[in-house]
Amino acid sequence: MSGSHPLAPTFALPPFDNANVDTILRCRDGVHFRVRGAVLLEASPVFSDMLAAISSEGEEDDRGGYRSEHYDGKPIITVVENSDVIDPLLRLIYPITDPVLKDLQDIRPVLAAAMKYQMEEATTLLKKALLSYVETQPLRVWAHACLLRLEEEARTAARALVGKELPAEAPEELQEVSAGDYYRLTKFLNCRELAAKAVELFKVDPSDIKDRPKKSPRWSRSEDPPESFTFRSRPYADIICRSSDGQDFRAHRIILCVASSTLQTKITSLLPEKPPSTSSASASKDDVLPVVQMDVDAQALGAVLESCYVEPSSFAYDCSTPQYIMSMMVAARTLGMQRLLDKMQRCSYASTSRDDPLLGYLLAAKMDFPETAKEVAWNLHHDVFSYGYLPEMESTPAHFYHSLLVNRRKNAPTNAARNAKSGALDASSCTPEAKKLKMGGLHSSRCHPWVQSLVAGNMESLRGLDRALDAFAVTPRYEDVLQDSLKEKIWCGKCEPNVRALNDMSVSWKRVYDVLCENDYIHQIPE
């Protein structure tokens, strides 16, 4: 095998075009840098190992993902970075003028490469360059430090944000940072100085994870799909819908065409107008039926296909999780099932997310359903931070959480003015005596602290309402209240048996109701 490259490569600008050096770096964009191996060896133990691993001239070698070959008798090391990253990085380790990095966006990729190749001096210089922006752009510095997982630099930027109002316009870096990191930043900013020192900016604090809202037996939820969304095979199928993960669903062309114009176009363009034979002899074999590939996973595809045959009841949606309904919404959008999607956006998703509105908001925002996210956000308390941490934040861009916080801050004066005009309680302006008299007609001195907290939370929800219809979203669930009050042990010995009896009566009623609802649903299914 020849040791030279068949085509003359494109070389970088001086001083990295010197033909007298002994090593060549090839970047992802095809630009080649002529460098001195001794400089790389001293500056980077990673490059030192790669140079040591290069075989003799004329051979190729694959080690640790790096591919080596030769040009003009000089070894070529292929790196994954582009030339606009390698150029300033090499200038930092060469005895020449340091590069000028004009923006934070220019610093981060070079610093990431310096850390990757373990270039200590270059890393130190670039960290200083990053922190040089902390006085003028602390939020952006924090974001870049988060993306590079630089705890010390992120904490320095966070300290610079203390006492400052977060900007209304989110910097573009918040599209890359997770909402989990942003939550930990807000926790840091909300803590007193001593407590803030204990806040981990990159680690989840288990105490921040609050219990998910509980539902009464009728509304108990499971991660598994409800029975109503389980696809049921029906006779005389004339097409197979294949999910992205390879599961087949025997369906009917006419049903799919009515449900989606997108599917109608796809089916008519791929298949003949005359349906295949559905006689018992031929229909028993799946290879007789045409197959249409669907870019949706099996669980979501089965649910939306079943919804084309039998419209799910509100009960079925309410028994589902926001994650499951969102997967159906994404599938319906992908397959062009607009009618089903409209129903879930208008009614089902908001109802399903009512008990976990922050989760509902984050999922809708992340999956690009802005109007749905806006509708769900109405169910959130003004203090978004009170919902604590959700694991889903780690996979959601911080931009959406930031926008929610900014929106709440922006609307606070409007809500306060509206409440003042209507005579509603404004917790930020009322005296303690006024709160005692106005908080749902209860005197705090006569209530258990748990009841005070419960009523205060309900009042906070009521303050943000604009329409009578919205009030249903914050209707107190007295069955849940009774159950939780028993767990909190707030009742005396005489009252507790009565409360338990009332709670048992409610539970029994809902169990009977569940059975009746299931029977009604089964009777709707065509044979």
CB within 8 A of 2, min separation 6: which ones? 58
Separation between Cα atoms, residue 131 and residue 140, nearest integer Å: 10
Separation between Cα atoms, residue 18 and residue 89, nearest integer Å: 17
- Span 310-330, pLDDT tens digits: 887 666 666 778 898 999 999
Structure tokens at 332: 């319906």
Beta strand ranges found along 96-247 (DSSP E): 239-242
Taking the CB of residue 427, how many other CB atoms lie within 10 A of it? 17
Per-residue pLDDT for 301 more than 90? Answer: yes
Per-residue pLDDT for 425 more than 90? Answer: no
Structure tokens at 273: 């107008």
Angle at CA 169, nearest 5°, toward 166 and 173?
Answer: 85
Separation between Cα atoms, residue 263 and residue 271, nearest integer Å: 12
Q: Is 422 left (phi over 0), alpha (psi -120 to 50) or beta?
A: alpha
Which amino acid is located at 487 in the chain? K
Whether omega before 290 lies within 30 degrees of 0, making that bond cis, reads no
What is the structure's pLDDT at 446? 55
Beta strand ranges found along 178-298 (DSSP E): 239-242, 248-251, 291-293
Architecture of the 218-355 domain: 2-Layer Sandwich (3.30)
Identify the sign of the CA torsion 324, 329, 330, 336: positive
Residue ranges, comma separated, of all CATH 3.30.710.10 domains in the chain are 1-132, 218-355
Structure tokens at 248: 């087949």
Average pLDDT value for the chain: 80
CB within 8 A of 302, min separation 6: which ones? 225, 229, 230, 231, 243, 247, 249
DSSP state of 277: P
Architecture of the 1-132 domain: 2-Layer Sandwich (3.30)
Over residues 243-263, the mean pLDDT reads: 94
Identify the sign of the CA torsion 108, 110, 115, 121: negative
Per-residue pLDDT for 433 more than 60? Answer: no
Q: Find the DSSP H helices in 11-119.
A: 37-43, 45-53, 83-93, 104-116
Taking the CB of residue 440, how many other CB atoms lie within 10 A of it? 14
Per-residue pLDDT for 44 more than 50? Answer: yes
What is the structure's pLDDT at 59? 47
Per-residue pLDDT for 423 more than 60? Answer: no
239-242: strand order across its sheet: 248-251, 239-242, 291-293
Which residue shows structure tokens 């990053």? 130
- Span 74-129, pLDDT tens digits: 899 999 999 999 999 999 999 999 999 989 999 999 999 999 999 999 999 999 99
- Span 337-385, pLDDT tens digits: 999 999 888 777 877 888 889 999 999 999 999 999 988 888 887 778 8
Q: Are 477 and 494 in contact (CB under 8 A)?
A: no
Per-residue pLDDT for 9 more than 90? Answer: no
What is the structure's pLDDT at 509? 74
23-26: strand order across its sheet: 10-11, 31-35, 23-26, 74-78, 66-71, 61-63
For the chain, the helix, strand and coil percentages under 3-state DSSP, each to the nearest 5: 55, 10, 35
Q: Which of 274, 249, 254 is nearest to 264 (CA)?
A: 254
Q: Are 437 and 443 in contact (CB under 8 A)?
A: yes
Over residues 47-76, the mean pLDDT reads: 68
Instruction: Enter the pTM of the model.
Output: 0.71
| For the chain, percent of residues with pLDDT exceeding 70 | 72
Over residues 466-473, the mean pLDDT reads: 50
